[in-house]
Structure 1
Amino acid sequence: MSVWRVEWLRLVRTPRLVSLLVVFTFLGLAQPVFVRFGPQLLERMGGSGGARVQLPPPSVEQALPAYLGQAGGLGMLVAAGITVAACAVDARYSLSVYYRTRSSLVAQLVPRLVVNAAAAVAAFTLGLGAAAYETAVLIAPVGPAALARCWAAGAAFLTLACAGALVAAVLSRSVLAGFACVAGTFMVLVPLLGTVPALRPWVPTAAPAGLLDALPWRPAVVALTLAAALVATGLLVARRKPLPRH
């Protein structure tokens, strides 16, 4: 049985694929609902004596970026965690010896990265379709060009996150440490870089400003370029990495 088929079976026979599909689909269905009925929900929760919160009228420009923002946060964490767990071949000594005495670490990592990254993008695509459907039903139809731009931005960001997860899995000695590294990078460091005015147009994000009018190409290009560099770095380190000591 090939390594590719083993990884595919590992994806579909464990909760990994189900977790991705559930999280992204839920986010896609929930965000347009909140955008549409958010003012009413806040009004009911606030009561008659509380401060009133004014929200802009519901629109496509709010609904789809809301999904992209959540997909780039919670969805990204789920995708990165699954990828780290899949690529952390050396996390357990016995399994590491078993795998690496039968094929190289690089040969083990490539199918794990590709299968899990593809699953993350596929789940994101399903969630985007759910978000577009809910938006069309509750607010207004979504144009195909805007939908394509949303997909390109989100898929590029998730690809970058999975590439970062590969590097973290190769360099870390445990799944938890690798996941913490990825989470800290994409939830803390990357947003901090986005606060710098000179860097803001280039910082990768799942929901760049003005996405529905035109594709901000700079964050997408930076995300894909960094993803390629991270994959190359991770595989180079893996090629030279010795077997872990017991």
Structure 2
Amino acid sequence: MTLWRLEWLRLVRTRRLVAILGAYLFFGLTGPLTARYLDRILGGIGTEGVRVQLPAPTPADGIAQFTGNASQIGLLVVVLVAASALAFDARREMAVFLRTRVRGAAAVILPAYLVSAAAAVSALTLGTLAAWYETAVLLGGLPVARLLVGLACGALFLAFAVAVTALAAAITRGVAATAGAALAALLALAVADGLTGVPWLPTRLAGAMETLVRGEPATGLPAGAALTAALTAGALAAAVAVSDRREL
């Protein structure tokens, strides 16, 4: 059995694939619904006599609800699933079994990375299609080209997030430590984005879909995509280099 098949079977048989797909599909279906009926939801839980009146929702609001949840809870699920696959040194028996059958850590890390990243991108695509359909039914049509570009940006960000998780797994030991370190690094990037407003940070790609469908200019997205791709490759290379030098 190849390591590629091993990673795929582990993803499927442990129901981790179901967790990723289910999370994004849920937000894809409920995001536009929330945007469409938000005024009624708030009115139902408000104080008696207080009337909640919001602007009429637009198609972009449906996508915004989806991307908001996907970039937070969805990303959390992706990092946790990726950490469980990439932190193979956390289980000594598994680490010995794998490392004594390959020439270098790259043969172990790359299958785990690519399978995890592919699962994350597939989940994002499924959730986007669901959000697209629900938005078209409830709120109206969306600019298709901009939506697809936003999807590509989101997919690149998830590939970057899984690469950061791979590097965290090489530096730390344990699934919890790996997930915590990766999430801390991604949170630090988000904070830096909020404080500096730099338009080409990787975190901008996570919200690019909303930005684009609202018709806003894609300022910094090409540079951000190039930087994110470079950082993804660098994180993977660093993960392999650190893992190759690690003692069991």
TM-score by length of 2: 0.91
Query: 1:55 and 1:225, CA in 2 relative to 1: closer, same or farther beyond 3 A?
Result: farther
Return 233-242 or 162-171, whichever deviates more: 233-242
User: What's the counterpart of residue 204 of structure 1?
Assistant: 202
Deviations 1:105-159 (A, max 9, x none): 2211110000110011001100000000000000001232022122012111111
Q: Give the Cα separation in 1 of the matches to 2:201 and 2:125.
A: 22
Which aligned runs of 4 or more in structure 1 are off by greater than 6 angstroms?
none
For residues 124-143 of structure 1, the aligned pairs below 5 Å read 124-143=124-143
Q: Give the Cα separation in 1 of the matches to 2:233 and 2:105.
A: 18
User: What's the counterpart of residue 245 of structure 2?
Assistant: 240
Deviations 1:34-71 (A, max 9, x none): 01100111011103334x55433211222213212221
SS in 1 for 2:211: coil
Contact 2:147 2:212 (8 Å CA) reproduced: no
User: What's the counterpart of residue 92 of structure 2?
Assistant: 93
Q: Give the Cα separation in 2 of the matches to 1:163 and 1:200.
A: 22
For residues 158-173 of structure 1, the aligned pairs below 5 Å read 158-173=158-173
User: Does residue 180 of structure 2 align to residue 180 of structure 1?
Assistant: yes
Q: Give the Cα separation in 2 of the matches to 1:152 and 1:55.
A: 31
Contact 1:68 1:154 (8 Å CA) reproduced: no
Contact 1:72 1:157 (8 Å CA) reproduced: no
Q: Give the Cα separation in 2 of the matches to 1:19 and 1:61.
A: 26
Query: Which amino acid letter does the alignment assign opposite residue 63 of structure 1?
Result: G
Please report how far the alpha carbon of residue 92 of structure 1 lies from its aligned counterpart in structure 2 after TM superposition: 1.3
Return 34-43 or 204-213, whichever deviates more: 204-213
Unaligned 5+ residue runs, structure 1? none
User: What's the counterpart of residue 217 of structure 1?
Assistant: 222
Q: Give the Cα separation in 2 of the matches to 1:53 and 1:107.
A: 57
User: What's the counterpart of residue 236 of structure 2?
Assistant: 231
User: Does residue 152 of structure 2 align to residue 152 of structure 1?
Assistant: yes
Unaligned 5+ residue runs, structure 2? none
Please report how far the alpha carbon of residue 20 of structure 1 lies from its aligned counterpart in structure 2 after TM superposition: 0.6
TM-score by length of 1: 0.91
Contact 1:68 1:150 (8 Å CA) reproduced: no
Once the two structures are aligned, what percentage of the paired residues are identical? 38
Contact 2:60 2:142 (8 Å CA) reproduced: no
Number of equivalenced pairs? 240
Query: Which amino acid letter does the alignment assign opposite residue 107 of structure 2?
Result: A
Q: Give the Cα separation in 2 of the matches to 1:30 and 1:217.
A: 30
Query: Which amino acid letter does the alignment assign opposite residue 226 of structure 1?
Result: L
User: What's the counterpart of residue 25 of structure 2?
Assistant: 25
Q: Give the Cα separation in 2 of the matches to 1:223 and 1:54.
A: 40
What is the RMSD of the two structures over their aligned residues, measured on CA atoms? 1.7
